[in-house]
Structure 1
């Protein structure tokens, strides 16, 4: 199955050489899978939120000192999580893949001619009044021609990133307590492979190393040496991230993490239990090569051969009443079962509980959503999201293991904590907590030229009215099944957004395998010529955070792209299209009545003197997947 990937890092400015490991999903630029089974996408499906309750005291104690609180956004098409950073003065926005297995943060540079088309424009150093190149020094790999430090990253599947190192102000959003900080980052001049084709702009390196954003912030003394991630579940995507310390909930489970054991965040896993029974394994099976590694960039989980066989057999023994079916892709031997139903909250009644036991005796209990992914072709069917790691004895635990789990990487105390929760609700608790500073105090810390707007309308003046919103929605239902109900879907969307159905227009419809990519537009209500900035922000946020509730018959959905058209860009003709149409229609009727014979004569003349138009318009192509 998965094979080890060797990641060579030459960080000019800081001499770094790090060995990478298998990352078997396209969930970051490092996860370009090489082997017989390419990694699949992390399924992010829309169901009612987890009803598990936690004490209010725990939720109110989470925030501790100055830290950066940031949203996470999941990408269904590519299987990764991103967050948003702003670089420079004035700030330039970037969507970066959150990666604990990478130690460098980098974005495409304006000088890059070999960079792909990504979500946001390239970084333009010349437009930032606070940008400075990192000049060559004794501890720096140097470009002798420019005298500037350079970096280079290469991965075994041949994707690469290289460029120069620069230093500038990095802003974390106006929901963060943390002021903008100067930090060194990579400005790409070349990228290849999946780094080139991915939609995200770049990588946010949260690993250990001199160039890591965490190490730089900790060295400045602005945050504690800890950060936390919380990924959404199978039902609700998105999540939250905190750079800096938090007070752990009283029932958080901890595992020791040895910083000397490997260059990655590892835990001391000793046993796995299925349905309360330990797998018959030597505990050393989880200590091979890099040990048991937590990697936010990997989508699924990968076990050494002996552990995978034991786990698979134990799961199948508990599911003898289910029908085993082929996986969604006939090229791969996925282990899938049908007949479980589509309600994620009910899966624990039919699938066994799984426990991961650490050397201190504490255990992390996994729900079915932590080891299963939905079958994309059969409703009510699920497949194992834990795979064999080939010849690599490393145990690699990706995002699936920590769905709806707050993971605290406490680097200061060499431990990693786990707390089962609903990550979509966790963000709200962090945001509205009594210890959260109010908006005025928070933004007052950030100079006005550095304070980016709150998601999702970053960079737009708050008072700018919107003329139209377009968004691309990936729906987990086939074209043939959805097409007869597209009007019904539009009505459900309008009802949930509390807008008039006449405001919702279908622009394009593209089948993608067993899914459908739909391009919609939302226009202002009939009584107004514009959509307020606040309303537009609310609409986009509701989709991005999976808060739009659609009937289960329409499957799951994912917002994969959106755009806004400011009112100023819409012409008088666009704003008054109905009046224009009626005027033209009435004029034509009058003209036809008065000059009927002229039209007949004109028609005959055209038949006698046919012509071909020059540069005839080509029909608009269907929207292609991003």
Structure 2
């Protein structure tokens, strides 16, 4: 992506926080936290896989359908550094997701929200609660916001909802995530504040009944490619994020309207279109390099058009999933290159683990993600050999999937600025640009 000459009114930047900002974890030790995180991650992958499979059969049960007419969001009083928000790792809560601090309403009430490039709908838990899960912040009170407004049942936004109802001419919504998680409530217009920027007239869900995988965050910021996602509503030409290390106390940013600082040494690759799954960001992953040898990944023909399969970049999935045959080939090459390391038993979905207790450093094979166009992203070792307990056990952080849908997860994205140029339909990867 090249730097675009955009006016200051098109820019939003949000800081990304460490997860320690949220309430204390409820896990006995690091291993139990890891196991909880991997259980949640497996459920997340099942949800995305089901969404993929339903879309192939023309069924969409998770997000809003595209509409040709929507309310226009407006961005007011922005500086070049305004439209950005902090990101925090969800590790301490057993979550593989990342959170941002977003203000809801006027005056803005700051809430932690999950960043999700695999969903379009933005929503928050709202009072009064029929069934709300525990979150770090107080439950959002619509009555305290001067910018809260119902959306009428006869509007295109409401009529385009996949699952909707009407009460006193106010629109109701339901979003199901395929794994049993769901949110139900009022579909409303509200002001969102990111950093120093207030964005008016954003359609969001005000959820009174919310159940499932959600932990600690007040809701979800939908960053998908569909018509009702937050980037689409504010009509931003681009957005980018950098995910800090899951155990880090440092911070980074989620930025809108600011082109990521890619250079000729960084990697950009086209985003692939899929008419039946417009939420997902598909890419052509040509292969996985391990120790200089490449395992081919052939999926671009399937993902193009309306077919199934393909590879998506997802901020909400933790561990990268590869089709079983591809995964086994990648894993076997890694095992061969790490044959001198003492093995350990598998942990949950990880089947390749090592006992590195007492060691200050080890040598492991390099791992590269090869994209269309011939460029490759070399992953830091911490992005594919990760600790799973406090006793020195580390595991190879890729996993197999029987689904045709493959996912580049956030463990592999850590420390890399990932930028989506929505005008040029490309995604870029800039290591060490947080």
Question: For the superposition of Structure 1 and Structure 2, which TM-score range results when normalised by the shorter chain?
Answer: 0.7 to 0.9
Please say if 1:229 is aligned against 2:282: no
How many Å apart are 1:340 and its aligned residue?
Answer: 7.1
User: What is the rounded CA distance, in whole Å, between the counterparts of 1:306 and 1:285 in structure 2?
Assistant: 17
Q: Does 1:119 align with 2:136?
A: yes
1:263-290, Cα deviation, whole Å (9 max, x unpaired): 21111111111111112x4634895634
Match of 2:281 among 265, 271, 292: 265
- Larger helix proportion, structure 1 or 2? 1
Name 1:400's counterpart in structure 2: 411
Tell me the SS of whatever aligns to 1:9.
coil
Match of 1:135 among 152, 160, 166: 152
- The change in CA–CA distance for 1:395 and 1:287 in structure 2 (over 3 A counts) is farther
Tell me which of 50, 56, 62 is aligned to 1:5.
Answer: 50
Q: Check the 8 A contact 1:255/1:267 in 2, yes or no.
A: yes
Q: Find the aligned partners of 2:274 and 2:224 in 1 and give their Cα distance.
A: 14
Report the alpha carbon displacement of residue 231 of structure 1 after superposing the two structures with TM: 0.8
**By how many angstroms is 1:252 displaced?**
2.2
State the Cα deviation string for residues 159-218 of structure 1 (Å, max 9, x = none).
Answer: 1111111112211123xxx344331111002112223xx111110100122321111111
Q: Tell me, in whole angstroms, the C-alpha distance in 2 between the residues paired with 1:132 and 1:306.
A: 51
Q: In the aligned structure 2, how far is the partner of 1:13 from the partner of 1:320?
A: 51
Q: Which residue of 2 aligns with 1:203?
A: 220
Distance 2:365 2:431 in 1: 17
User: Would the aligned equivalents of 1:11 and 1:151 in 2 still touch at CA under 8 Å?
Assistant: no
* 1:359 corresponds to: 372
Mapped pair 1:255 → 2:269: yes
Within-5 A mapping of 1:168-183: 168-174=190-196, 178-183=197-202
Conserved 8 A contact 2:85-2:195: yes
CA distance in 1, matches of 2:336, 2:259: 41
CA drift of 1:91 comes to 1.4
Q: 1:338 to 1:257 in 2, by over 3 A?
A: same
Report Cα offsets for 1:231-259 as digits up to 9, x if no partner. 11366354321122225331321111123
Q: TM-score, normalised by structure 2?
A: 0.76
Name the CA distance, whole Å, in 1 between partners of 2:83 and 2:172.
28
> Deviation per CA, 1:472-528, whole angstroms, max 9, x where unpaired?
xxxxxxxxxxxxxxxxxxxxxxxxxxxxxxxxxxxxxxxxxxxxxxxxxxxxxxxxx
Q: Which has the higher contact order (CA 8 A, sep 6+)?
A: 2
Do the aligned partners of residues 333 and 208 (structure 1) sit closer, same or farther apart at CA in structure 2, a change above 3 Å counting?
closer
Q: Is the 8 A contact 1:13 1:136 kept in 2?
A: no
Aligned counterparts, 1:341-356, within 5 A: 346=361, 350-356=363-369
1:358-437 to 2 correspondence within 5 Å? 358-379=371-392, 381-389=393-401, 391-421=402-432, 426=434
Q: Distance in 2 between matches of 1:217 and 1:75?
A: 26
Deviates more, 1:393-402 or 1:233-242: 233-242
Distance change in 2, residues 1:173/1:382 (3 Å): same
What stretches of structure 1 of length at least 5 have no aligned partner? 17-63, 219-223, 427-626
| Structure in which a larger fraction of residues adopt strand | 2
Q: Per-residue displacement from partner, 1:571-601 (whole Å, max 9, x unpaired)?
A: xxxxxxxxxxxxxxxxxxxxxxxxxxxxxxx
Q: Of residues 233, 243, 266 in structure 1, which corresponds to 2:256? A: 243
Are the counterparts in 2 of residues 65 and 244 from structure 1 also a CA contact under 8 Å?
A: no
Q: 1:328 to 1:284 in 2, by over 3 A?
A: closer
Match runs of 1:27-176 below 5 Å = 68-76=83-91, 77=93, 78-139=95-156, 140-141=158-159, 143-174=165-196
Asked if 2 retains the 8 angstrom alpha-carbon contact of 1:269 and 1:286, the reply is no
CA drift at 1:314: 0.3
Q: How does 1:517-528 map to 2 (within 5 A)?
A: none
**Is 1:96–1:200's contact at 8 Å kept on the other side of the alignment?**
yes
Q: TM-score under structure 1 normalisation? A: 0.53
Measure, in 2, the Cα distance between the counterparts of 1:306 and 1:149: 46
Higher Rg: 1
Determine helix, strand or coil for the equivalent of 1:314: helix
Which segments of 5 or more consecutive residues in structure 2 lack a partner in the other structure?
1-41, 52-59, 70-78
Q: Which moved more, 1:365-374 or 1:304-313?
A: 365-374
C-alpha displacement of 1:14: 5.7
Q: Distance in 1 between matches of 2:103 and 2:112?
A: 9
How many pairs were matched up? 357
Deviations 1:542-583 (A, max 9, x none): xxxxxxxxxxxxxxxxxxxxxxxxxxxxxxxxxxxxxxxxxx
Q: Partners of 2:390 and 2:347 in 1: how far apart?
A: 6
Shift of 1:368: 1.4
Is the alpha carbon distance of 1:97 and 1:234 closer, same or farther for their aligned partners in structure 2, counting shifts above 3 Å? closer
Shift, 1:65, TM fit: 5.2
After superposition, the C-alpha distances for 1:443-469 in whole angstroms (9 at most, x for unaligned) are xxxxxxxxxxxxxxxxxxxxxxxxxxx
Secondary structure at the aligned position of 2:430 is classed as strand
1:222-621 alignment, distance < 5 Å: 224-233=236-245, 236-237=248-249, 238-250=251-263, 251-260=265-274, 262-263=277-278, 264-279=280-295, 281=296, 283-284=298-299, 287=302, 289-328=308-347, 334-339=351-356, 346=361, 350-379=363-392, 381-389=393-401, 391-421=402-432, 426=434
Aligned pair in 2 of structure 1 residues 124, 8: CA closer, same or farther (>3 Å)?
A: same
> Is the 1:285–1:306 Cα contact (8 Å) retained in structure 2?
no
